[in-house]
Each structure stands twice: as C-alpha cells, then as structure tokens.
Chain A
C-alpha cells in the first residue's frame, strides 16, 4: 500500500520530492510546538498547483489522510502528521501577479509573508498582517491559522486581507472561495475557510489585498513600575478613539530576556512592564496622537515615555519585541508560546492569576503580548527532555488557559487550536456548538482525511455519539 502510494506520488512530483525514509522524515516530525513529535508516513512536495491537485486526487483515490504544511512554524501542532502523508507546500513560492492599481496580489501558498511585503513595497504598498514569524512563515499557513501580528490592532488579521482563495478540496475538486472583486451574496465560504487549519482543503492560490504604506510612523516606548499601571494605560489609550497601529506589552521577565540577548533594544530592565506603541498614517495629526498617548501613559503612572526619533531607533525598539521569543531561547532549550485572549478590562487580574499559577508550579512565565486586543502570550521556557519540568509546565498552562476562559476570554487569538488546544474546546463551547463545527467539516471533508484529529475533538460530533450509542 505504502509502496504503491510512493510510486504514484513519485510519478506525479518526481522521486526527489517524495520522502519516505525515516531519516528524511525526521525533519518534518515537529512544528513550533515543543514536546510533541509525530513522524509522517510519507512526505510529498509538489512543485506546481496542478501537481498539488494530482497529489490530492491520488490520496483521495487511495483513501489516505494528509496534513498540509507550510513553513512548520505553527505553535499549536497543526502541521504535525502522525503516520499520515505530509503535504509540503513550501515549493510553491511564486508571486503570480501584483496589481498595484487594484491593490491586490495573487500568490502561491508557499510565499513567505515578509517576502510578499518586500515585493510590493516598491509600489508604496504592504501586505499588512505581520506575524512575528513573518520572516519564515508562509501565506498559506497564515490563511489556515488566520494569523495575526502586532499591527493587527489597526490593520486587522489575515481574514481582513485575503479576498479570494483557490482551494483543492480533499476529494480533489476545486472551489473558488471569495472573489477578488466581489461583494458576494453567496455564503462567506472564504470567511469560513480562513482559519480552518487545513481541515477543509488546501489553499493553492491566494489573492490578498494590499494597503498603502503609511506616510509617517511614530514609535514610543513607555515604562511602568507595575503591570497594572501599564494595563490601565492601554485602556485609556483605546478609550480616546485613537487606534494605534500597535500596542504591545512586555513584562519584566521578557524585558530581561531581551536585554540579555543579542536583540537587546535598550528596554529599562528595572521596569515592571513596557508598552510599545506605534501610530501611523498620514503625517498630519500624528504629533497630536503621540502627545495624547504620552499623557495617557503618564496619567496611568508611567515613569517615562520615549519617542523614537530616528528610523534606527524605531527598528531597534521593534527588534526587541519581534525577537522576544528567540531571546527566551537563551533561558531554556524549549519554549511554550501560548496564545489566549481576555477582555481588556480583565488584563490586570488575569496577569496576576498567571503569576500566581506560575509561582505555584515553580515555572517562569514571560508575558509579551498584543495588549490592545487583550491577546496574551504567556510563554514558559523549559527543558522538554525533563519529564518533571514538562509535567509542571503542562499543568500550569492548563490552569492558565482555564483562567482565561473563566475571565470571559478564549483559548486562541491567532495561533489556532491545532492539537495542543483540543482539550479546552469543550470548556469553551457547548456540545451543540462543537457538533455544528463537525457538521461543517463534513461538508468539505466527509471522510475526515484532511488534517485528521485537529481543531474539534472528534467525540464531540453527533454522529460519533450516535455511532457510539449503537455500539
């Protein structure tokens, strides 16, 4: 069976692009989620859209499950392929068309996020969603996860920037979701597909919206003697009606990790928290916004607000934030980067609860997050090879996630459910809601061959219950 499939796939993509030996497959046994490893049965890397279709059709004919994979930077284990076929899309790297007048670009799924922005910059345009992994993650992966990033506070997440997707369904048929120029009266299949984590099919061609680069940008760093004061400042800023391009918070543990690394940005290491705040747009009025934000920070108890005066200063301030995860790598070999969202007004007490949980389990939590959205990233550096540490980290994270749910929040703002967060889905949604999710999955993939076992716990599906009852 495996040999027959190997031969079929090799005939489609060429033998070089099918990996079947364990040493080759090990390279794909993990994504960005530490502590989980799963060896694919085979890995296939089509080089063109028509090869993708042929591969998907061959897998359908053989009744074999598959997991699409972009760059494998996902943090929820979505691209893990346990004994099924891994469908790598990272050879599809063409920017097929840039249309600056209509402000769209048509790309293949393996195009790296930052590369797209670089390619359209000469037209004075940008692809706005900017996950911190943008130098490696792919647009296909971004679509599948509905990725966010620091600038999503103002510009919106991936969903707001994708207008059309060509999707190969798990049975090999194509659908066109959305419309590059459409104000569609059809079901919002595109809205449904974005964020479906590879469970509905494979995006093979993606049309994105481009937005003008801002005429002017101001970046500020405010430092606070307490996390509470920083959280107060966030609420005040948002209440003024100014929509900052980004409003990011880092706590003391994160600041110290950054400052001890090669990404040192000059953050004050004695601050309990810093806020990195950016405003951008047309130049007029930005100075006023900066003044108002400064006032909000000072009135909330900031010790100081620094405004970057040169482009180099600005880049330096951002470098610390964007490389914070990398900086945490110095503390321990593995890092859990969690992702939860709470109502903004609950930030102070949830952060306090997180601190309490971490202390109880004897783990170190570093918080670096999109404060304007209430999108927390509690991160724990640890050693995944140390069983005791792993167990404590796991238990602490579970409590943290449940605390976020209890505060009226959710378990993921941008990283997806994947495998990692399956257990929390039942705390978040009712049985009927989960069953409705199974229902929609079945429309696209009745055989559950696309990214099986992810996103919705299978035993939540009504049919499963029925089957179970009968048995």
Chain B
C-alpha cells in the first residue's frame, strides 16, 4: 500500500471504529491482542527502492522492502546495511525498525537505531509525518525517528525508511571455534575485549560453548582480529563466513542457523551488566538445562531459546528472584511490545495517547500475560 492509502485506511478505521495492524512479511506476528482481533484492518506498506546514491552511502526505501532485497541492491555497489538481525531474511525493513530487533553479529556492533536517518510515519490520526532526513547527521527538531524505532507500530505505521549504509571492508569473515570450561573462565576475557570485534557465544545443551566473531578490515587487521579471538582460548577455529570480499553472511548456512529459531520456541531476552554475564549464563543454564543460550558479551545480553512449555512470566520471575542480582533487565521477545516492566508509565501512556488518540494502532498489552513464541 502507498503511504496515502494507509493514511486513508487509518482515517476510515477512526470513523468505523476499528483497529489497524501494520504488517511486513508476517514472519513474526504472534502475540498481542491486535493480531487476535479479527476485525483489524491490515495495512501492508509496499516495498521497493525510492532513491539510492551509492556515493552518499544512503538509501531510501519503502518500508515493505525485505532485508534480502535491500542487501542485494546494496551489494551491487559494494555496500551493506550493517545489521544482521535474528529472524528471516524475508523480514521487512519497516518491521526491523518497528521492532528494533537486535543483531547478533552486526558489523562494528551497530544497531538499527544507529542506522535509521529518517522515516515517513502515518500516525494514529492519519497524519503523514516525515522525520529526520537523508543525511548521515541531522539533529533538526525532536527525534521522532528514535521514538518510532522499537515502538512496535504503536505510534504509527512506518512507510518509508532512509538508511545509512557502510562500504564493505576488503575482508569480512565470521570465524568460529569452541571455548573450553565454564563461563567463569572465558566471559571476563571476552568482556575485556578492546578490539572492534562483534562476538556471539552459542551455548547449546551438552555441547561446548561456541564463539563466533566477525573479523573485518583489511587483510592485516582481519587476521590480527582472528588472532585476538583465538587468544581468548578458542579451539579449532575456522572461517564460516565467505572468505573473499562478498560478505554475504545471510547465505552461509551456519550463520543462518544462528539467526533462525525452531518452530514453537519461546525466546526470552535478558540483559545484565557486562560483568554479570558469567553469573547470568550459569544461572539460566541451571534453571533451563534444555535451552540454547545466545550470549553477546559486548552488550551483556542473552537470548534464551527454549520450548514453549514454559510460561514466560513464571520463568522471568524465577530468573529474577533466584538470580537476585541488580540491575538486570528482562524483556520478552516472545511478545510484541510487552508493557514496560519498570514504572515509566507516566511518560509512555501519554506518548501513546499523543500519537494514537483514538487507539486504532497496534496496542501495547495491558497486562503481562504469557504468550509463547510460536510460528
């Protein structure tokens, strides 16, 4: 749908009254009352490139453009969007922005928040709002770009996205190997990392911990980074990413597998201070011996992928009470736009009301109820 169609759809929804639900490729629509509302009007922004000037390393696309299409377009000019989020390459950029989904092995540890320059958003009043710009630095006016990033479509439907791209470095490898011993041994070494080395540890039941690191730069730097990675005690290291300049990591099965979650899995994301990473891994492992843990040492975050037999709020409570360490932040990727667990409601509710006064857009859940990640 075009931006103006979406604006009209929202205007009709206000009049009817009914609700509107933004959809990308629909790869992650579980959870949340809006989806279950059979009367919702579905609005699906169109895809396609609007403007791309490789010399500026900036691209403007319609929100329905998939990550696959986006990387294929940029690759022709030796450029890339510096994220590699969990989920499917069929995900749309609009949804990636709306969910601010994190990336396990993003180039230079960048997040989508760092890469969105401007947005066109249709608010809950049907207004078409263009915020930010098309240049890599802009601070003109209040930052509604950041506000809509990660808002799960509750403040507006994103229809156009301006993105900052990066030129591909001459080498871009993902190197993997195993780590011996318990997290007590290797976590402190990983967090003390001083090199620009995005890393991810995969801890599957009954398997040794496996470290992935994205080693980029010119030849000398990429191999030095590989050496640094091995100095953490990594054994049997080998390159899984493309060893030439193509850096099409999406196509590498082992990395695709990292980003994929089995059907009917429950995904929890947990974050603690960097120095609490080892204790947290140990704790979650004891609580959920069958879960697969994906640990990012530079952000102190863990994705816990487990089966949906667990009730997620019970799990969170168990983790919270038994871990007993503060500050720890929990949130559930199992849910769309879970309500804030901390008391900031006196700002959050008015923000929602300001942009969606009729309550027609994706809603935040009113209560914290279990909702497994089921595909």
* A interface, CB within 8 angstroms of B: 101-103, 124, 145-146, 148, 152, 156-157, 159-160, 173, 175-176, 179-189, 191-192, 194-196, 199, 212, 215, 235, 238-243, 281-282, 284-289, 292, 341-345, 370, 373-375, 408-417, 421, 425, 428-430, 432-437, 439-444, 455-456
User: A425-B141, A440-B354, A443-B354 are known contacts. Are A433 and B166 too (CB-CB below 8 A)?
Assistant: no
With A417-B141, A440-B144 in contact, do A409 and B135 touch (Cβ < 8 Å)? yes
Known contacts A285-B217, A443-B351; 19 additional CB pairs below 8 A are: A145-B139, A180-B273, A183-B269, A183-B329, A187-B155, A191-B143, A195-B142, A215-B194, A241-B78, A241-B167, A241-B169, A282-B224, A285-B218, A287-B220, A343-B134, A417-B140, A437-B142, A439-B355, A443-B347
Q: On chain B, which size bracket covers the interface?
A: 35 or more
Query: Contact mask B341-368 → A, CB, 8 Å, 1/0?
Result: 0101011101100110000000000000
| Chain A residue at minimum C-beta to C-beta distance from B272 | A181
- Please tell me if B306 contacts chain A, counting CB pairs below 8 Å: no
Given contacts A187-B151, A345-B56, contact A282 B225 (CB under 8 A): yes
Q: Which of A180, A183, A189, A281 contacts B327 (CB 8 A)?
A: A180
Majority secondary structure of chain B interface residues (helix, strand, loop or mixed):
mixed
Question: Is A187 touching B348 in the complex (CB atoms < 8 A)?
Answer: yes
* B147:A425 contact, CB within 8 angstroms: no
Instruction: Output the least CB separation between A414 and chain B (Å).
Output: 6
**Would you call B53 and A428 a contact (CB within 8 A)?**
no
Secondary structure type dominating chain A contacts: loop
CB pair B114–A160 under 8 Å, yes or no, is yes
* A179-B329, A282-B195, A443-B347 known; A185-B150 Cβ under 8 A: yes
Against A, the Cβ 8 Å flags (1 = close, 0 = not) of B271-282 are: 111110000000
CA distance A288 to B355 in the complex (A): 51
The residues of A that contact B221 with a CB separation of less than 8 Å are 281-282, 284-286, 288
Contact indicator per residue, chain B 292-321, by CB within 8 Å of chain A (1) or not (0): 000000011100000000000000000000
Task: Please measure, in the bound complex, the distance between the C-alpha atom of A103 and the C-alpha atom of B191, giving whole angstroms.
Answer: 10
Q: A187-B150, A413-B138 are in contact. Are A344 and B56 (CB under 8 A)?
A: yes
- Say how far A450's CB is from chain B's closest CB, in angstroms: 12
Q: How far is the CB of B31 from chain A (nearest CB, A)?
A: 12
Q: Least Cβ distance of A277 to chain B in Å?
A: 16
Flag if A456 contacts B142 (CB, 8 Å): yes
In the assembly, what is the distance between CA of A280 and CA of B219, in Å?
16
Give every chain B residue within 8 A of A242 (Cβ-Cβ): 169, 218
Q: Would you call A189 and B344 a contact (CB within 8 A)?
A: yes
Given contacts A186-B344, A188-B147, A417-B141, contact A373 B136 (CB under 8 A): yes
The answer to whether A240 and B141 have CB atoms under 8 Å apart is no
Q: How far is the CA of A189 from the CA of B155 in the complex (A)?
A: 13
Q: Closest residue of chain B to A101, judged by CB?
A: B275
Flag if B271 contacts A183 (CB, 8 Å): yes
